């Protein structure tokens, strides 16, 4: 795949992500989104394989993104691949959320991490790795959907 789209389905699948995917396809860009390419129930290792073979990553960071452990596992893997690879890029989109909430894990991102901590289903070390991955993504130049697109 040329492009890997990482997104929270409940926030953006039927709107922003679908439109972006369609525009990429119309432009001849082969993009991956979780609704295709992998069957439901497949394991994360298969998804990681797709990430390792992708060239450009577009995480669409939205209000519920950090509530999803699946999204957080994806973003951690993406940051690792971008850090290790050559000719790979990450272009974050902040969809109806301010970059500072992602960078500092405040607002909806802070609430998500508080929920993960309380649940005790995720190790503290893993939470810290996810936080660091989000900081690295938020420190990159990105796009704020509210400012650039029709939302």
Residues with catalytic roles:
74
Give kind and range of the element (H or E) at residue 94: strand 93-94
C-alpha angle 64/8/118, rounded to 5°?
40
Q: How far apart are CA 60 and CA 11, in angstroms?
A: 10
Say how far apart CA 2 and CA 128 lie, in whole Å: 29
How wide is the angle at C-alpha 129 spanned by C-alphas 127 and 132, nearest 5°?
A: 110
């Amino acid at each position: 795949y040329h492009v890997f789209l990482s997104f929270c389905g409940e926030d953006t699948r039927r709107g922003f992500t679908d439109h972006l995917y369609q525009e990429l396809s119309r432009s001849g860009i082969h993009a991956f989104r979780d609704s295709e390419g992998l069957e439901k129930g497949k394991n994360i290792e298969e998804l990681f394989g797709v990430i390792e073979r992708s060239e450009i990553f577009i995480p669409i960071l939205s209000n519920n993104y950090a509530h999803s452990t699946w999204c957080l596992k994806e973003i951690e893997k993406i940051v690792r691949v971008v850090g290790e690879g050559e000719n790979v890029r990450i272009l974050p989109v902040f969809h109806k959320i301010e970059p500072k909430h992602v960078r500092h894990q405040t607002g909806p991102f802070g609430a998500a991490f508080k929920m993960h901590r309380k649940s005790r289903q995720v190790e503290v070390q893993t939470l810290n790795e996810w936080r660091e991955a989000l900081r690295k993504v938020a420190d990159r130049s990105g796009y704020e959907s509210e400012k650039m697109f029709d939302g």
